[in-house]
Amino acid sequence: MKPLQFGITGPISWLTILAKEKDMFLDRDLSIRFRTFLAGKKAMQALRKGWVDIANVIDANVASLATEKKVNVRLLACTQTREDGRILARADADIYQPSDFYGERLAYMPGTSSHMFIVYFAKHHRLNIEKLNLVPVRMDRMEQALLSGDVDACSVWQPFSFQIQQAASRQNIELVNFPNEGFFRYFIMLAAHEKTLQKRRQEIDTVIDVLKQAAQFAKENRDQTNRILSQAVDMPLPIFETLEPDVAFNILPIADEFWRQVAIQTSWLTQKPVTNIDQLVDKLSVSH
Distance CA 195, CA 44 (A): 15
Domain boundaries, the chain: 4-82+185-280, 86-179
Top-confidence residue, 260 or 107: 107
Has residue 286 got a pLDDT over 70?
Answer: no
Alpha helices in the chain (DSSP H): 14-21, 24-27, 40-48, 59-63, 113-124, 142-147, 160-170, 194-199, 201-220, 222-232, 237-243, 256-270, 277-280
Average pLDDT over residues 192-217: 96
The total number of residues written for the chain in this structure? 288
Higher pLDDT, 4 or 248: 4
At how many degrees (to 10) do helices 14-21 and 201-220 cross? 90
Q: Give 214's pLDDT tier (boundaries 50, 70, 90).
A: very high
Query: Is pLDDT of 266 > 90?
Result: no
Q: Residue 216's pLDDT band (boundaries 50, 70, 90)?
A: very high
Q: What percent of the chain has pLDDT over 70?
A: 98
Q: What is the DSSP letter of 182?
A: S
Burial class (CB in 10 A: 0-12, 13-18, 19+), 227: middle
**pTM value > 0.85:** yes
- Give yes or no for residue 46 having a pLDDT over 80: yes
| pLDDT of 127 higher than 90 | yes
Judge if 4-82+185-280 and 86-179 fold alike in CATH terms. Answer: yes
Res 70: pLDDT: 84
Residue 126: the pLDDT is 97
Class of the domain covering 4-82+185-280: alpha beta
H or E stretch covering 72: none
**What is the pLDDT averaged over residues 244-267?**
80
What is the maximum span of the chain, computed from C-alpha positions, in angstroms? 58
What is the pLDDT averaged over residues 272-284?
76
138-186 pLDDT per residue, tens: 999 999 999 999 999 999 998 899 999 999 999 999 999 999 999 998 8
Residue 248, pLDDT > 90, answer: no
Q: What is the pLDDT of residue 249?
A: 83
pLDDT in tens, 182-198: 999 889 999 999 999 99
pLDDT band (50, 70, 90) for residue 288: very low
* Domain 86-179 architecture: 3-Layer(aba) Sandwich (3.40)
Cis peptide bond prior to 159, omega within 30° of 0: yes
For the chain, give the mean pLDDT: 91
